[in-house]
Structure 1
Amino acid sequence: MPIDIETFDESSSDELNTLTNAEMVVRFLATNDDKAYTPSEIAERIDIKKNSIGTVLSRLEDRNLVRHKGDYWAIGERETVRDAYRTHRIMEALDERYGEEDLEEWREHAAEGE
């Protein structure tokens, strides 16, 4: 599947190799922000399984990253999407620098404080 040159220029090799379905949907809709698409059109355009697109879109909508009316979906408000992307990049950088957080370790320490 081709990507736009802006994505190519702004992304590292690792990012281009490990995009999640949600990231691909957001990037596709952001790149095509002048249109709205049906779930099957989105799945076809970004080459993901049609049976997983509904769940992805619903989760993105819960986070206000996409919006929909009827059968059509579009990118969410630019500022919200931009803020989420920046937060995601910061978290990735922190994980890379300090290692990923271990949820079970957090739970153990939270239980000790009770």
Structure 2
Amino acid sequence: MPIDIETFESSPEDHLQNRGETNADRVMRFLASHPDQAFTQSEIRDATDVKAGSISVVLSRLEDRGLVRHKGNYWALGEADDVAAYTNMAESTRTANDRFGEEDMDEWLKHAVDDEDTE
């Protein structure tokens, strides 16, 4: 997926890596770069390299969250407010990961409270 030259020039190298990018992130980034168009699942799949067996599930989950819209065979970016909230959350997560490092789920689980311990 291309980026504009200003982003290329101004971003640190580690920000230009696709570390931890999910299929949903790829789909949202693609649709956000084409907010005035709608695409078929296969077009989105081809543009994002999401596997054929996953694209339907990814789009359905994004639709459930109001992040994409679906009509007939076509999918488009969701309404502005929902997309803005998602974008803000994703950017906050990226910033926190850049500053503090990504969470290690195994380490986190060592300290998580088990529901049985609270009864």
Superposition TM-score tier, normalisation by shorter sequence: 0.7 to 0.9
Residue 64 of structure 1 aligns to a residue whose secondary structure is: coil
Q: Does 1:97 align with 2:100?
A: yes
Partner Cα separation in structure 2 for residue 7 and residue 27 of structure 1: 17
Amino acid aligned to 1:35:
Q
Q: Does 1:51 align with 2:53?
A: yes
Provide TM-score, normalisation by structure 2. 0.73
1:48–1:99 Cα change, 3 Å? closer
Partner Cα separation in structure 1 for residue 50 and residue 6 of structure 2: 18
Alignment-derived partner of residue 3 in structure 2: 4
User: Kindly, what percent of the aligned residue pairs are identical?
Assistant: 38
Shift in Å at residue 48 of structure 1?
A: 2.6
1:8–1:25 Cα change, 3 Å? farther
Shift in Å at residue 17 of structure 1?
A: 2.0
Partner Cα separation in structure 2 for residue 61 and residue 4 of structure 1: 25
Alignment-derived partner of residue 16 in structure 1: 17
Q: How many residues are treated as equivalent by the alignment?
A: 112
Alignment-derived partner of residue 106 in structure 1: 112
Residue 73 of structure 1 aligns to a residue whose secondary structure is: strand
Provide TM-score, normalisation by structure 1. 0.76
Alignment-derived partner of residue 64 in structure 1: 66
Cα RMSD for the two superposed structures: 2.8
Partner Cα separation in structure 1 for residue 29 and residue 5 of structure 2: 11
Residue 61 of structure 2 aligns to a residue whose secondary structure is: helix
Gaps of 5+ in 2: none
Gaps of 5+ in 1: none
